[in-house]
Amino acid sequence: MKKIIFALFLLTFSLSFSNSDIDIISKELWRCTHSIDKTFKGLTYVKFLNEDGKPSISISILDNRAALKTGKVTLELSQLDYEVKEDENSIYFTNLNEKTNVFSNYKLSYSFDKKNRPKMDLYRISDNKKLCSLITD
């Protein structure tokens, strides 16, 4: 009986710990500091949303590279559901459609430093290449 109670305690603790990880990460607005990969450029912001109890992620990418030449600035704004894979410390985007299919090849990877401050990076899934480090504003 003691083993069952202890197992339930561990299960409850591990579930509450993982939820608190996402709770900590989702409180902030994240911004891409600098692109490591040249194919991924522009100002990128990631914000966790919770509308009517339904969690989602808002991603905005403001690409101003061609603004001086063409006078145009492109903005990609998407609101996506996500799936957390705790064993990988990664967040994958779901409910992708034709417009947001570009995000099917990306994941957010999160971690915590020694002072329990959250860190997040954007990776391309196909080659597991880090595209940018995200910081909080």
Q: Which pLDDT tens digit goes with each residue over 31-55?
A: 988 777 766 667 889 999 988 888 9
CA distance 55 to 57: 7
For each of the domains in the chain, give its residue range(s) and CATH number, in order of start.
Answer: 2-136 (2.40.128)
The pLDDT tens digits of the residues spanning 122-136 come to: 999 999 999 889 998
Across the chain, the runs of DSSP E, i.e. the strands, are 29-35, 43-51, 54-63, 74-85, 90-94, 106-112, 118-124, 129-136
Q: Which residues contact 55 (CB under 8 A, 6 or more apart)?
A: 26, 48, 49, 81, 82
Percent of the chain with pLDDT over 70: 80
The model carries a pTM of: 0.74
